[in-house]
């Protein structure tokens, strides 16, 4: 086994963040869950419905309650499984006779329904903690501000390539609880958001990966990045010295917390900066071929390889996995090339850090499509890149004032639009062969779209339409010759 770039010693220091770990004394841990009981689930999307199904399967009496409208596909599932539910509001009388409450990660701790139930003496458990109480295999948990899905998917892919019995879930599509309704695999790869980590008590991963911490979701953390970071670090909280903790050595916040907290797991620091050396096979000392591009993905791949080596996966399976991995869409996804101009969909880049990596990964001039709902962004880390590489910024948002104001000194041409098709037409007019048009918004999508998937899909569709129109024009011209 290859491990321990850093030792597991704890440095003494005068700062202590352990109080910001936000333990909620009202929360149950997995061992305290009464198995013969009525359970109430607050929030009925993927996690809540997954928890409801797992609870039902384990003979609980289950009731689901959602403050908003429940999506039809989830309502149908609840009905099919004879699970009663309510939507568009909580009826406290229907909830208080439960033994305990399972809270979906999307419901903030400050939600009025939770404090009402707490006051009545009801205690809560999160969906992740509830699932954990049923799982007996080995857990690989991945968190961070950016790269969770990519890294989780790559780890899963390498493990599958090696023939292991592994499932993937959590923040990655299928909820942990739902997977456990019909499987208990040897290994579980879990992508975890900070909201999911907020609710853990006993949850312990055999291998934890912490990729990076940059400002995101601060509205749920009293606008204090220290609270958000403390939440991410909870991934190490219950680890023992048998476990492994893989982290970004170049991330100042992570380093600071690592030196404060009594982390027991074996530490593996991973380098983000060393771009020349790629990742080298221990078998033949050659660099692995990695299917996903960009410096950030080299770092993500290094973390995945670290996990694979801890699991003693062979170097040849690692090589195969790295070369054949196909990432989820909307992450630096190459859509098409039109007139020598490459179109990239990076709709999932909803914060400044992700955009910085995206712009940096591109060679040649860039036409940058950005904007949407601003999450309190500080754009200054992008100014140098914008000045050097971006020849035009097309703002795709309802309110673009901040974006325009931030970049008017650095980018010669800024155009605003609220229509994806005209964004693509404008980009085609402005670009010349060798340029790249990238949708990498740095913002949330909710001003104009359902979500980042909808935004990315509309962008891809518009690009493909333009490509088809161009091809049919060329076909018509050829026919006339
Ligand atoms: P998450 O699941 O954490 O949101 P994704 O893998 O979905 O992460 O990637 C989200 C965005 O962040 C994409 O635009 C991607 O190109 C970018 N990204 C991926 N890995 C990293 C990383 N290590 N550091 C910074 N940005 C990254």
- Which CATH number do you get for residue 347? 3.90.190.20
Query: pLDDT tens digits, residue range 207-245?
Result: 999 999 986 666 666 677 788 888 899 999 999 999 999
Last residue of a domain, one of 68, 102, 122: 122
Shared-domain flag, residues 343 and 362: yes
2 in any annotated domain:
no
DSSP for 358-404, written as a single string: HHHH--S-EEEEE-SB--S---GGGHHHHHHHEEEEEEESS--HHHH
Distance 354 CA to ligand 1 centre (A): 6
CATH code, domain with 100: 3.40.50.720
Shared-domain flag, residues 160 and 294: yes
Where does residue 34 rank: exposed (0-12), middle (13-18), buried (19+ CB within 10 A)? Answer: exposed
Res 287: pLDDT: 96
Shared-domain flag, residues 157 and 106: no
Atom 20 of ligand 1: nearest residue by CA position: 147
Pocket of ligand 1 (CB under 6 A): 144, 146-150, 211-212, 296, 299-300, 331-332, 346, 348-349, 353-354, 357-358
462 in any annotated domain:
yes
Residue 22 has pLDDT above 60, yes or no: no
Q: Which of 195, 211, 290, 331 to mutate to test the pocket of ligand 1 (most atoms within 8 A of CB)?
A: 331
21 in any annotated domain:
no
Ligand 1 atom closest to 144 (CA):
3
Distance 317 CA to ligand 1 centre (A): 24
- pTM across the whole model: 0.86
Shared-domain flag, residues 169 and 114: no
Res 27: pLDDT: 64
77 in any annotated domain:
yes
Residue 170 has pLDDT above 80, yes or no: yes
Last residue of a domain, one of 324, 347, 366: 324
Ligand 1 atom closest to 146 (CA):
3
Number of domains in the chain: 3
Distance 150 CA to ligand 1 centre (A): 7
Res 17: pLDDT: 23
Higher-pLDDT residue of 4, 98: 98
Instruction: Determine the structural domain holding residue 56 and report its residue range.
Output: 36-122
23 in any annotated domain:
no
DSSP for 273-285, written as a single string: S--TT--B-TTT-
The average confidence (pLDDT) of the chain is 89
Query: pLDDT tens digits, residue range 235-271?
Result: 999 999 999 999 999 999 999 999 999 999 999 999 9
3 in any annotated domain:
no
Distance 352 CA to ligand 1 centre (A): 11
Dist CA 138 CA 427 (whole Å): 48
Positive or negative torsion for Cα 97, 100, 103, 109:
positive
- What's the pLDDT band for 412 if we cut at 50, 70, 90? very high
Shared-domain flag, residues 413 and 434: yes
Q: Which of 354, 442, 443, 453 to mutate to test the pocket of ligand 1 (most atoms within 8 A of CB)?
A: 354
- What's the pLDDT band for 33 if we cut at 50, 70, 90? low
Ligand 1 atom closest to 299 (CA):
23
Shared-domain flag, residues 106 and 150: no
Q: What percent of the chain has pLDDT over 70?
A: 89
Check if the beta carbon of residue 150 is closer than 8 Å to that of residue 18: no
Shared-domain flag, residues 308 and 201: yes
Lowest model confidence (mean pLDDT) among 72-76, 239-243, 403-407, 477-481: 477-481
Res 418: pLDDT: 96
Ligand 1 atom closest to 191 (CA):
2
Supply 7's token pair: 């030792």
Shared-domain flag, residues 259 and 367: no
Mean pLDDT of all residues in 150-165: 98
Residue 279 has pLDDT above 60, yes or no: yes
Higher-pLDDT residue of 370, 27: 370
Residue 181 has pLDDT above 50, yes or no: yes
Shared-domain flag, residues 312 and 165: yes
Shared-domain flag, residues 107 and 223: no
230 in any annotated domain:
yes
Q: Which of 298, 348, 359, 455 to mutate to test the pocket of ligand 1 (most atoms within 8 A of CB)?
A: 348
Shared-domain flag, residues 156 and 209: yes
Last residue of a domain, one of 103, 122, 141: 122
Query: pLDDT tens digits, residue range 319-344?
Result: 999 999 999 999 999 999 998 999 99
Q: What percent of the chain has pLDDT over 90?
A: 78
- What's the pLDDT band for 409 if we cut at 50, 70, 90? very high
Dist CA 139 CA 33 (whole Å): 21
Catalytic residue numbers read 148, 171, 217
13 in any annotated domain:
no
CATH code, domain with 291: 3.40.1190.10
Mean pLDDT of all residues in 74-92: 97
Distance 347 CA to ligand 1 centre (A): 10
Pairing relationship of beta strands 207-210 and 61-65 according to DSSP bridges: unpaired
Distance 147 CA to ligand 1 centre (A): 3
Shared-domain flag, residues 172 and 290: yes
Res 470: pLDDT: 77
């Amino acid at each position: 086994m290859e491990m321990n770039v850093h030792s597991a010693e704890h440095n003494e220091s005068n700062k202590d963040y352990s109080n910001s770990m936000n333990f909620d004394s009202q929360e149950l841990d997995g061992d305290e869950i009464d198995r013969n009981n009525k359970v109430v689930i607050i929030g009925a999307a993927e996690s809540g419905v997954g928890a409801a199904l797992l609870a039902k399967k384990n003979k609980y009496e289950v009731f689901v309650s959602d403050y908003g409208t429940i999506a039809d596909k989830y309502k149908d599932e609840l009905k099919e499984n004879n699970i009663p539910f309510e939507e568009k509001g909580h009826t406290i009388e229907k909830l208080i006779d439960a033994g305990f409450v399972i809270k979906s990660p999307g419901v903030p701790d400050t939600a009025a329904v939770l404090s009402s139930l707490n006051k009545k003496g009801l205690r809560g458990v999160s969906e992740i903690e509830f699932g954990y109480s049923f799982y007996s295999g080995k857990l690989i948990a991945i968190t961070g501000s950016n790269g969770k899905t990519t890294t989780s998917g790559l780890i899963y892919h390498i493990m599958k390539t090696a023939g292991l019995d592994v499932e993937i879930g959590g923040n990655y599509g299928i909820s942990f609880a739902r997977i456990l309704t019909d499987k208990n695999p040897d290994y579980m790869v879990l992508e975890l958001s900070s909201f999911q980590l907020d609710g853990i008590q006993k949850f312990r991963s055999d291998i934890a990966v912490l990729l990076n911490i940059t400002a995101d979701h601060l509205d749920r953390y009293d606008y204090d990045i220290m609270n958000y970071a403390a939440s991410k670090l909870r991934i190490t909280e219950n680890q023992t010295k048998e476990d492994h903790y893989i982290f970004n050595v170049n991330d100042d916040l992570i380093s600071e917390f690592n030196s404060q907290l009594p982390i027991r797991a074996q530490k593996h620091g991973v380098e983000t900066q060393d771009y020349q050396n790629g990742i080298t096979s221990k078998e033949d000392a050659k660099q692995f071929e990695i299917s996903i591009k960009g410096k950030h993905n080299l770092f993500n791949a290094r973390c995945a390889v670290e996990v694979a080596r801890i699991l003693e996966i062979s170097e040849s399976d690692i090589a195969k996995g790295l070369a054949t991995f196909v990432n989820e869409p909307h992450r630096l996804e190459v859509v098409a090339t039109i007139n020598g101009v490459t179109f990239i969909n990076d709709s999932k880049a909803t914060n400044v850090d992700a955009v910085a990596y995206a712009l940096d990964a591109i060679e040649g001039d860039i036409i940058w499509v950005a904007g949407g709902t601003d999450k309190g962004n500080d754009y200054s880390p992008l100014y140098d890149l914008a000045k050097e590489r971006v020849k035009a910024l097309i703002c795709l948002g309802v309110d673009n004032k901040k974006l325009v104001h931030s970049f008017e000194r650095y980018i010669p041409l800024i155009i605003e639009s609220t229509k994806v098709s005209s964004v693509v037409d404008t980009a085609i007019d402005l670009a010349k062969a060798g340029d790249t048009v990238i949708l990498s918004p740095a913002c949330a999508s909710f001003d104009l779209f359902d979500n980042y998937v909808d935004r990315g899909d509309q962008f891809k569709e518009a690009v493909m339409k333009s490509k088809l129109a161009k091809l049919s024009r060329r076909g018509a011209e050829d026919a006339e010759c």
